[in-house]
Chains A and B, each alone.
Chain A
């Protein structure tokens, strides 16, 4: 919570020049609006008191302010959107950079849905918060101050009355904040709780059908909804009071000022200062502005809540995890050193095969991932090319060619050669459009065939080291033998590190590595 709020503050500091531009445009808009109101008051004065039509100067002010107001609003809207877009893209770029260096482990740590929410929801939410809420926060403090100065210079009595309420303004701000926060909390808590229950029952549609529990659960849901409704309304009854306060003050001030100025004009009440019609009219027209911006801040308040939640997610993704000096990383370093020694020493044959074993949960996958990261992110090591085959074979929705080549280009003959080597030649012939056949969401591949395709992918790349992380997991014993023999045959001339739970012929390996329960690696 603290971290994410710090991050938000940092963002608003970094974006300050852009935010000031937006603020300036908002000020231009409100200045023009005040101009319109002034011209209107002067116009009414001419028409009502002096029985004349509008003077040319008044008309000029009215026209210029009106046009200025529309133009300022249009520019403001455009600029605000442009800035938001630029900001969102910059966050996206930072995030992409972090992502490209993230480990698979980090990516798997979140569900696909929460990843999607980052771009669909969280990044735009932070942008909205900065360019709507933060600007509005400054603006709603600025406008009342300026207006009170103007009003005081016209009529000090009303000015003083408003100044006396001035200390109330921070109180308003807090009330708006707290009131809305309280309301949002109660409101959202209830909705979230109910929503969780509802979504859970929808998610378990299979279970409910199987146990014929639908009607029972429908009753439970309905009862829970009713109970929540009553409870929440009780909480909200009080929370609404604080959010109605602003409406209360703004409405009341219009009524009181109208009656006070009206009676002063009639001479019914006299506090020793006379008031001109034009001034009175202007004050009446301008007073709603005093509260309008605060009200708008209250309306935008939900953005703050959402932004804190969103920034928590984004900030966590953007800050790379601490350089933990854990055992896994150290082991990875040692393992890599060992491999390089082997590669350089003349005594080793051209290829070297290592079996890595250890109980489940000891961190074999972590070790391989750590080695892969080190090899990819250390420039010196990068020259030796490395590939890894994981437990699950990923099939992309693109064509077979895309699946094998990824973003590189290879001659067709070479691709077909490799696919033949992994035993997919016959399968390829069955595909309607050959290499151009799209795999789609339901690729026409059996578990074994998918492994072969993944193997072909690695073979096309000219790598020195291949790391295998249980490439035959989820296969039957028979297929395990078939696929591992194939791997053994095609990767003969590479350096291989092979993690497997299933048995492999020991004769294939030059060396055995072991990880014990504590994650300690013995070479």
Chain B
């Protein structure tokens, strides 16, 4: 039962009933008053009076129902939209800018809300126009043509304004992007402002102008509606056939034109909503991202990896070729180079995120392409999942005991977190410092006991004591596994062993 009530047509129907009941109530009440004033003996006044109350109650009840089921529907749609988007993005790494996720979240909201915010409104307007046409044909056929003409003109204007708004919305999106870039570049160069003759400023004028242009379109539509309905009102009042004089029915067309000023407005007001919906839909369908192709070759972990060789490596955005890289179990490889030299890209290539940039061979013979998700890459700026501390640590292996987690936290020097396994971290929850997140991510990766461990800048932002601790931990792990460390700084007194300096390559 409940399931059936959350179906789209139900909330849709109830919303339309709400609008139509309001319209009918106004028409019926006015007619009733006119009928009472012109009543002849034997006029049955009880029935219309009951009908008026019934309409009022229908309107009130459906109003509440529309609010309730409309929101119910919104939440159901939101859940579906998000689940669908999330499912589509499996094994995809989003590559857009920092605000992409927030944007996508907003987009799902606007797509889900389209039902309540736009579809019901427009359907009510269209149905209202048709219903009024039917009422006029039945009761005052002499005005049928004028209402038909009005409804047609209104629809045409509505469609035309929508068409025009498309261009404006396109301009809105492009000026918005321009403003975003403008703000980014201006503020990013804050450290240079003192070198300028004139401090650079942000210029939002263009974006705001287009924004108001869009609002202006809506207002123009409403003004048009006012003019059109006023003309209709004057026409219907002045063109009454002789035989209609004194007939209560003659109020109907005028009241319909008058009421249209109120209920047809939403057709114009909801227009930007429709356009946002379309934009959002588009963004949700063309989310920028890299699709990973998992290697799907997990039996290799049984056949222990002894050595890996990458050949024909090319670094993206840098027109250079990198020498072949060969690593062996027990001997860590240090990749060094200044920031911007391409260390992070190289690590990602090694993990197989971009299979086109390198060829990978394991144990000297097997080709092994694709994204190696059984290997672990600890990012330069790792992220935490917005969930509990223990869930973060158990991501790779749910069978780990609390003791194992605590042991690993101590090993990376995060002893203070060992008694807070249940507390939430990441997102808006408890914040860890940059250095803490780094060590936490390393702990998380090590708990999975990966065959191959790739670490990006593990020492940056750590004090020398922790640098030594992490170095010891990594070195220990490296004796039985394949390990690659990318770093621009080395803890003191470190025997670097096998090193590749990317500054020399470029």
Contact = CB atoms under 8 A, between A and B. Distances in A.
Interface in B455-506: 463, 488-489, 501, 503, 506
B208 interface: yes
Contacts of B371: 209
A87 to B, nearest CB: 11
Nearest to A360: B463
A407 B192 CA distance: 11
A223 B373 CA distance: 26
Given A62-B234, A258-B33, A386-B194, A116 B180 contact: yes
Interface string B329-363: 00000001111110000000000000000000000
B108 interface: yes
Nearest to B397: A211
Given A221-B83, A252-B56, A51 B245 contact: yes
Interface in A218-261: 218, 221-222, 225-226, 228-229, 232-233, 236-237, 240-241, 243-244, 247-248, 251-252, 254-255, 258-259, 261
Contacts of A207: 383, 385, 395
Interface stretch (B88-96, B129-137, B157-165, B301-309): B88-96
Nearest to B209: A85
A266 B86 contact: no
B125 interface: no
Contacts of B488: 474-476
Contact of B194 (A195, A199, A261, A376): A376
B338 A209 contact: no
Interface in B81-133: 82-83, 86-87, 89-94, 98-102, 104-106, 108-109
Contacts of A254: 25-26, 29, 56
B226 A70 contact: yes
Interface stretch (B66-74, B145-153, B274-282, B407-415): B66-74
Interface string B206-238: 011101100110010011001100100110011
B237 A62 contact: yes
B299 to A, nearest CB: 16
A201 B86 contact: yes
A368 to B, nearest CB: 11
Contact of A262 (B36, B75, B89, B91): B36
B379 interface: yes
A47 interface: yes
Interface residues of B, number: 133
Contacts of A461: 195
A458 B503 CA distance: 25
B432 to A, nearest CB: 15
Interface in A388-428: 388, 390, 392, 394, 396-397, 406-408
A199 B102 contact: yes
Interface in B162-179: 176, 179
Contacts of B30: 258, 281, 284-285
Interface string A340-367: 0000000000000000000010000000
Nearest to A237: B68
Contacts of A388: 191, 194
A2 interface: no
Nearest to A118: B183
Interface string B368-404: 0001010011010001011000000001100000000
B39 interface: yes
Given A195-B105, A457-B192, A120 B396 contact: no
A448 B98 CA distance: 26
Contact of A221 (B82, B192, B317, B506): B82
Contacts of A244: 60, 63-64, 67
A251 B185 contact: no
B223 A280 contact: no
A94 to B, nearest CB: 12
B141 interface: no
B191 A43 contact: no
A167 to B, nearest CB: 23
Interface string A185-224: 0010001001111111111111101111111011001100
Contacts of A251: 22, 25, 56, 59-60, 63
A251 B60 CA distance: 7
B34 A44 contact: yes
A262 B191 CA distance: 77
A256 to B, nearest CB: 8
A387 interface: yes
Contact of A202 (B101, B212, B448): B101
Interface stretch (A105-113, A147-155, A509-517): A105-113
Nearest to A89: B205
Interface string B412-428: 00000000000000111
B17 interface: no
Given A199-B104, A446-B341, A100 B194 contact: no
Given A77-B219, A284-B29, A202 B105 contact: yes
A336 interface: no
Contact of B340 (A40, A78, A229, A446): A446
A427 B58 CA distance: 78
Contact of A448 (B200, B201, B338): B338
Contacts of B337: 447, 476
B230 A85 contact: no
Contacts of B216: 77-78, 81
Which of B101, B108, B428 neighbours the largest number of chain A CB atoms within 10 Å of its CB?
A: B101
Interface in A424-453: 442, 444-448, 450
A291 B30 CA distance: 18
Contact of A240 (B68, B78, B197): B68
Contacts of B506: 446
Nearest to A388: B194
Given A77-B219, A202-B105, A207-B383, A54 B238 contact: yes
Contact of B234 (A63, A74, A478): A63
A407 B196 contact: yes
Contact of A394 (B60, B192, B204): B192
B79 interface: yes
Contact of B226 (A73, A102, A261, A265): A73
Contacts of A36: 230, 233, 258
Given A237-B68, A252-B60, A48 B248 contact: yes
Contacts of A386: 194
Which of B68, B223, B338, B373 neighbours the largest number of chain A CB atoms within 10 Å of its CB?
A: B338
Interface string B251-293: 1001000100010000000000000000000000000010010
A281 B33 CA distance: 7
Given A119-B202, A446-B506, A448-B503, A84 B89 contact: no
A84 B42 CA distance: 59
Given A48-B34, A100-B199, A474 B64 contact: no
B45 interface: yes
Closest 3 CB pairs of A and B: A447-B338, A66-B230, A77-B219
14 contacts: A43-B237, A70-B227, A77-B223, A112-B183, A197-B427, A205-B89, A221-B82, A228-B75, A247-B63, A263-B36, A263-B49, A277-B37, A376-B194, A447-B341
Given A47-B237, A285-B30, 18 more contacts: A40-B233, A62-B233, A107-B190, A196-B427, A198-B105, A199-B102, A209-B93, A210-B377, A221-B86, A225-B83, A232-B75, A262-B32, A277-B34, A281-B34, A288-B262, A446-B341, A475-B488, A476-B501
Interface of B: 22, 25-26, 29-30, 32-39, 43, 45, 49, 52-53, 55-56, 59-60, 63-64, 67-68, 71-72, 75-76, 78-79, 82-83, 86-87, 89-94, 98-102, 104-106, 108-109, 176, 179-180, 183-185, 187-202, 204-205, 207-209, 211-212, 215-216, 219, 222-223, 226-227, 230, 233-234, 237-238, 240, 245-248, 250-251, 254, 258, 262, 289, 292, 317-318, 336-341, 371, 373, 376-377, 379, 383, 385-386, 395-396, 426-428, 448, 463, 488-489, 501, 503, 506
